Structures are given as structure tokens and as C-alpha cells.
Amino acid sequence: MAIFQKPQTDGRAVNKVVEIPISEIVPNPAQPRVIFDDYELSRLAVSIQQNGILQPLTVRRPENGMYYELISGERRLRACKLLNMSMVPCIVITASVKDSAVLAVLENLQRADLSFMEEAYAIKNLIDYYGFTQEETAARLGTAQSTIANKLRLLKLTDDEKALVVKYKLGERQARALLRLESDKRPDAIHYIGSNQLNTAQTDAYIDELLKEKPPKPAVHRRWSFRAVNLYINTFNKTIDAMKEAGINCDASRSRTDDFIEYVVKIPLKQTD
């Protein structure tokens, strides 16, 4: 097992591996990882117990702080706490608040250690909490701005929808495709996609079909005025007159009650002399 250097008297052994009390390490406010699997943490704890910590944690010490802020190694720190360890090996680096936030996100992204939803929240945190623009975030993380924009779009899903996406283990492209649907259609769509284990292409095709289904147009209830009825009656009378001028000796009679107007038209089937 590696031999770690004890901290110097000023507590600032920068860029060297030192042992630091766990009680003096606080979480990084920009920590992007929010999901910690208890079983995986237990396995990591067993590995650390048997083999030690193979990769030191990375921390920084604020200028006016009496503590160390964790930059990377959240899972290792949690596993050490499970083992009731009092000291952990760390590399102390000099970093600003913003640099610390970026490094915390980068460390997880490079390890492919985050879910895509956690990545989206991490990026939003950099933008909202630390005042980065999308362009700055993309430059800091070494990715395209369109990638940042696509990640942030995922947060338009409701909390319930996000939970269902996680439950059914949908992919990022599948989750983003759901945004094409109206919000009232998304839960059922997620259930269908997850239950039938659709892949990305099948998900796109399924959502295309849903978008083709147009709801029936609501029935238009017209309110007739008596003036409008008279227009139809006049048209009907002109039709009777036109039939008579054409030599069709039809007979039309009309009666009226308080509820309706009734027309009876008799058209002879045989021509009379």
C-alpha cells in the first residue's frame, strides 16, 4: 500500500498526496452525482478495505476556510465513511470556486460516471449557480454548444416523467424524443416504450405515429336564427318554382306549428297531358 505524506503544519500541501481527516472534508456544492447505489458503495467499501484507496481524492481549501472542499471522489469518500475510516488520502489543488465546479463535473463526465439526467442537472447548476453561459459551459467542458442545449432540454420533462424515464432505463435520445409529445401523452408513452423495450429507432417511429393521431374536431353547435331559417325557406320555394318551370307538375304544401314548419312536396312519377 502507498505511503502517504502527512499534512504540513499550514494544512496546504498543494499538489501532493496527504492524509486528511474525513471530518474536515465537505461536499462540493457543484457535485453532479445525485444517485448513489448502496450495493455498489458496499462493493467499493470492501475493495478499499482489502486493497486500500488506489486513487486519492481531490480537494481544495478555500482561502478563508477551515475545511477542505471535495472536488472528485464522492463515492470513495462515502465508502470510507461506511468503513468508519478517520483519514483519507487526498491531493490538495489550488482552484477557484468556478474551477472547482467545472472539475467536479469533468471528472464524472470523463469517467462516464453520470446518468444523462445527472449530466443535465450538473450543466444547469454551472449555468445558474456559477453564472456560466451555454457557450462558456461548452468551452469549459470541451463539447459543442448544441450538446449542452440538448442536455438542458431534458429538464423540460416533469419530475414524474423523469422518474419514469429512470425507472424504465430509457436512453437520452428516447427521453428527448418524448418532448415532441404534449405533456398529457408522455406518461403513457413512457410506459409503452419501457414495457415493450423499444430501442431508439422504434421509439422515434412510435412517437411519429402518436403525432399523426389527430383528436376529433369538436362538434360545432350552431344556433339558428329565424332569419337564417327564412333564407333556407326562400331557397326551397325557388327550387319548387324552378321545378314547375321545367315542366314538373309538383305540388307543395306548407303548414306551421309553434314548434316547426312542415313542407310536403308531391312529385308525380308519370307526366300528365
pLDDT tens, position by position, 13-44: 566 788 999 999 988 776 666 666 787 788 88
pLDDT digits over 110-146, tens only?
555 668 888 888 788 778 877 888 898 888 778 889 9
For residue 191, what pLDDT is reported? 94
Cell reading at 155:
429538464
Neighbours of 27 (CB within 10 A): 12
Domain 1-96+107-113 has CATH 3.90.1530.10: yes
Which of the 8 DSSP states describes residue 86? S
Q: Look up cell 423540460; give the residue.
A: 156
Strand 68-72 to 25-26 pairing: parallel
Query: Which residues lie below 8 Å from residue 204, measured CB to CB, with a gap of 6+?
Result: 177
- Rounded Cα distance between 57 and 38, Å, is 20
Which residues belong to the active site?
74
The size of the chain, in residues, is 273
Where the chain has pLDDT below 50, the residues are: 1-12
- Rounded Cα distance between 20 and 6, Å, is 8
pTM recorded for the entire structure:
0.51
